[in-house]
Amino acid sequence: MGHLTDHRWMGAALALAGRGIGRTAPNPNVGCILVRDGRVIGRGWTQPGGRPHAEAMALAEAGESACGATAYVTLEPCAHVSTRGPACTDLLIAAGVAHIVAAMGDPDPRTNGQGFDRARAAGIAVTTGICESEARAMIAGFLTRRAKERPFVTLKLATSLDGRIARPDGTSRWITGPQARAHTHLERSRHEAILVGRGTLQADSPRLDVRLPGLETRSPRRILLSRTSEPGWETISSPHAITHLAGVDRLMVEGGAQTASAFLAADLVDRLLLYRAPILIGEGRAALGDIGLAALADAHGRWRLRDSRMLGIDRMEVYERA
């Protein structure tokens, strides 16, 4: 099976991995596809809350036909038996899989190469590094939690061409159009939690839910950045307290300017999700306040454009930490 074909199957496994994004913490959202004789015989992705794992789900679908198949997995199969289920490496060995193609190794010290080693020892061919950068991006939440002991943070801003998020009186409905707003709801569904500041709570009473057909049940947890508690909200008192948000590996910060600036000043933003409407507002509320910048030169080299597209007449841009 050629190299290009491997990339194509891995692309399909990554698409499956995307189904679990923002729903699998503390586990990574993994995708798995089982292929035999050029046909897909099993598909799986990490289920909400982290179990079953992708491989277990794909093997269950394939049944006995998994014998001799190739397993495309977006992350190294786990090597450790947990109280919540068997090790996927053992399941793949037991099913008689002939070949494992993985995008990347699992940094979890309980696996960390042992999944590959044990599979090879059992006579399974192992190929790694296929679509690795895409796979890393797919589990940015898991990797950030592991490396930095905090969630991966997306900061969303919806502005006019001149960088305003509201008129002087706070009016902000609407700056962007329906396509951009729908995309924001889709992004919400890909995060375990959304955070706003008290100013936004008081001004907008935001529902912060997912209002997209078929995704109504995917509304994330709502977090308030505030020194005082608020009924119906989880509260944290400072940006750095996101480290204590158990079960949140992907956090979306939705505003307002003071909250956004606090996260940027604390260097806690990994991804900028920008929506920009083709309008000018002039006098109004700025997207950001003081973010602790000491000199203009320090602003450069921090952000790299990862995606850019039109949503109706608005432009969406995604920047990630360089």
Q: Please, which residue, 38 or 301, has the CB nearer to its own copies?
A: 301
Binding residue per annotation — 82? Answer: no
Quote the least distance from Cβ 8 to its own copies, whole Å: 29
Residue 8: helix, strand or coil by DSSP?
helix
Quote the least distance from Cβ 95 to its own copies, whole Å: 47
Binding residue per annotation — 172? Answer: yes
Cα-based distances in Å from 279 to 86, 162, 300:
55, 8, 26
Quote the least distance from Cβ 308 to its own copies, whole Å: 8
Structure tokens of 137? Answer: 């991006």
Binding residue per annotation — 259? Answer: yes
Quote the least distance from Cβ 245 to its own copies, whole Å: 24
Q: How far apart are CA 25 and CA 196, in angstroms?
A: 21
**Phi and psi based region of residue 179 (left: phi greater than 0; alpha: psi -120 to 50; beta: remaining):** alpha
Quote the least distance from Cβ 277 to its own copies, whole Å: 8
Binding residue per annotation — 204? Answer: yes
Structure tokens of 108? Answer: 């979890």
Structure tokens of 292? Answer: 């602790």
Q: Please, which residue, 91 or 269, has the CB nearer to its own copies?
A: 269
In the beta sheet, which residues pair with residue 319? 272, 305
Q: List own/partner pairs for 107-110 with CB under 8 A and 24 or more apart.
A: 107/143, 107/146, 107/147, 108/78, 108/80, 108/146, 110/78, 110/79, 110/80
Q: Is 76 a catalytic residue?
A: no
25-62 in b/e burial notation, b at 16+ Cβ within 10 A? bebbbbbbbbbbeeebbbbbbbbeebebbbbbbbbebb
3-state helix/strand/coil string of 89-119: HHHHHHHCCCEEEECCCCCCCCCCCHHHHHH
Binding residue per annotation — 261? Answer: yes
Question: Do 264 and 287 contact (CB within 8 A), yes or no?
Answer: no
Binding residue per annotation — 146? Answer: no
Binding residues for its own copies, per CB under 8 A? 157, 159-164, 167, 171-175, 261, 264-265, 272, 274, 277-283, 286-293, 295-296, 299-300, 302-305, 308, 313, 315, 317, 319
Q: Please, which residue, 98 or 274, has the CB nearer to its own copies?
A: 274
Q: How far apart are CA 161 and CA 40, in angstroms?
A: 46
Point out the annotated binding site.
53, 78, 88, 158, 172, 174, 188, 200, 204, 208, 211, 254, 256-262
Point out the annotated binding site for Zn(2+).
53, 78, 88
Residues catalogued as catalytic: 55
Point out the annotated binding site for substrate.
172, 188, 208, 211, 254
